[in-house]
Structure 1
Amino acid sequence: MKFTNLMGLLLLVTVAVIPLLGSCSQPKELVTLRQEHVQTQAYNQSDMQPELTEAMNRFALTVYNESYQNDPDSPAQMADPDNLFISPVGLYMNLSMLYNGASRQTATELQKALYTKGITLQQLNQGQQVIQELLEHQDDDVQIELAGSLWSRSGWAPEDTFVQRLQHSYGADLHATDFTSSQAVKDINSWVSEATHGGIHQMIQNPLEGNTMLVLLNAVYFKGGWTEPFEQQQTHKQSFVSGKGEISSVEMMHRQGEYEYTRQPHFQAVRIPYGATGKWGMVVVLPDRDYDLQQFRQHDLPEFAHWTSAMSSTAGEIGLPRLELNEELQFRDILRSMGIRQVFDPQRAELDGISQSVPLYLSKVQQNTHLIIDEKGTEAAAATSAEIAAGAMPSQPFRMIMDRPFFVAVTDRTTGLIVFMGELHHPI
């Protein structure tokens, strides 16, 4: 598959590896599930839970900000930061799956980090099922697929109730495999490759830890062409200046037209729509030259909903680099900073909803993303409060050329969710 020939898509896999602590008791009979996931009810926008949408977007903004605060090599700590691209929706769904097996303090910590206070587990699972259907079926011109799976050690299986909940609400089928063999890694990576249409080939490295009992996988695949594609003859080499002042040459795509746009005190923002309906769109933010992305993240990103609602149709010119990114991020420390601690502790994790016989803990949470932006579309395999006044609509056509670090977010209007978000510091 040659990605440069595609309309554009977003690929992501989140994986949580849960290894065993202690000795195994007698294994119980393996649960066998149907491979296909049958939806018994069709949903529409009125079935959305506003509280869940708000919770997921709060989680998105929190985990995004924490991604820049914890790693000493993270963009927030570097004079010349790296690129970042994540799918908060993919991570949220993966942790929601895990939440189904947690109890007591472990469950309380997950509930707090997921902002689900006042939302029951049943409502959370039902809400995720509604979101999945709405995301997948709202626009014939945009392809999005969400998939989940569970991989258990041969001879052992999670509790029936846990498996059935995840199969029903997340379409996550259970697969038993021999974790001591290299074939297990091949099978898991094969599932990932298929779920991401070949975007991510190797998610798990050989070998798995010897006490691994269960792997939870979640994948999000998006493919959508711009409503109005960029013309290739308008793409030409242009300088891109990093935050450190280093200059590189990029292929800059240019287009003039009417876009939803806002001018705020310290940045410009434009929404580039996908498909015929424009329900999906990429919000692109370009800070002013004397205002960097760290300042934007701290002071303006928390008000994302406020200033995006201030956008209005405006004529202008945009310049967007053609780029391709492959990212991998470990979320253990990030989630710990958000209060999810006990589940990572081998002595204290309470995951008896997954297993009554084997003490389990969470050892790893990883997300791989793949992003391509070209003339046809996007392909990818991802709080300080500040009061911001709505920007006045400019009297002159705007000009917004992303020739320095900028922020992007792929959003969906039907669900109101931030599905992917990131910062591009070094377009390549």
Structure 2
Amino acid sequence: ISGFNAPRLAEKLNVCLTSDAAFTLLCQYDSLISKAAVSILGYTIISKVNFTNEKKFSLSLQGTQYRTAREEGRGIRARLNELYPQQSDLEQQYYCRALRLPNRTHPDVPVGDESKARVVEVVGQKAEFDFKARGHLEIGERLDIIRQRRLAHVSGHRSYYLRAAGARLQTALQNFALDLLQKRGFIPMVVPDVLKGVVFEGCGMQPHAHRSQVYSLDPARFPDFNLAGTGEVGIAGYFMDHAVNLTDVPVRTVCSSTCYRAETDTGRETWGLYRVHHFNKVEMFGVTADETGEESSQLLDEFVSLQKEIFSSLKLHYRVLDMPTEELGPPAFRKYDIEAWMPGRGSFGEISSASNCTDYQSRRLNIFYERGDGSLKYAHTVNATACAIPRTIIALLETHQTKEGTVRVPDALQPYLGLEVIEKPKYTPLKYIGPNQPNRPPRSPWR
């Protein structure tokens, strides 16, 4: 650790660690390794002489010398037995803290918190209404396409149902995004939703940390299995311990998957589809080379252009933000967010992001590319949200609502949805019969 400057490292990388604690841990580990190395060397020498060639040793050391050497060997062995548990404990602490170290940051990234985000581009105009704009939950309930209330006994808080045109809208958005990306050369994939912790850690997440956003399965039955909060984890696991050929990069993949997030910050966005425990998302993931140092930055720009094409086709008003250091997350070298205007909320809301992770994930997951001479080099990875379904539905319903309570369907979605307008249902919606409702039959003994 010669020349180690913990405060400077923390400042440069925006590490959310106590610098003094990190420095102390490194010093302890360095000292312990030095002691162990000396002891192991001495033990190896004495073992080799004392046990492998004991006859020759006994001839060269007689009487008191022999007994002294044997006693020294036993002392070294005893010291090693004390050091090994300490080494194991420090290695675990060192590993856990090292996992929290973030990637480098691009020199042009703004420094600071969310308020320092730089607006790169604003697309479209805010929707104007001659009536008070409704929120998506009110619109969805009137059209009977969203249900979120009275689900405590079914699936708990922050869950929801989509039905009729709502369910079809989800499928339409997924298929629209997948079709567009396949035409751009993306390889469609279906990925696992349940993955081991090492894949999450390789992506820069901490599934076992306190108040983690990752759902973990019962460790007594399924040790170290977790539910993915993004398709990025599943695709990254596909490339883990593999190499792509230099002639094939960049490799562009896309998947549509169900995402699970604990959303432990329960005080934010308590109602609606903006912050929920499960949702569907179309995710882009790219693996590229690091020959010129610009490949992953170019791929990031390409992904952002595709995001803009998708949201412009949906006739949304949105802005592109260059996110500051405190909003990057550990793996991102640079990150762009896209926020859509949501009239019902009266504010912009994030609907997608795109991150250049350079070689941060590939070093942890051993993702390589192979050069023409057969040599291997760590690849760079880029990921981006093509369409986060619930938040896109929020923007669509609130942007394209009408005074009559219907919702106009953007031209790009009409072939997938089979509708030009989402109208009020012609049937009678379900009627709630709760425990305190009049004329409710006696409670069933089966519940």
Please tell me the TM-score bracket, short chain as reference.
under 0.3
Task: Flag the structure with higher helix content.
Answer: 2
Task: Flag the structure with higher strand content.
Answer: 1
TM-score under structure 1 normalisation?
A: 0.22
**Which has the greater radius of gyration?**
2
Determine which structure has greater relative contact order: mean sequence separation of CA pairs < 8 Å that are 6+ residues apart, divided by chain length. 1
TM-score under structure 2 normalisation?
A: 0.21
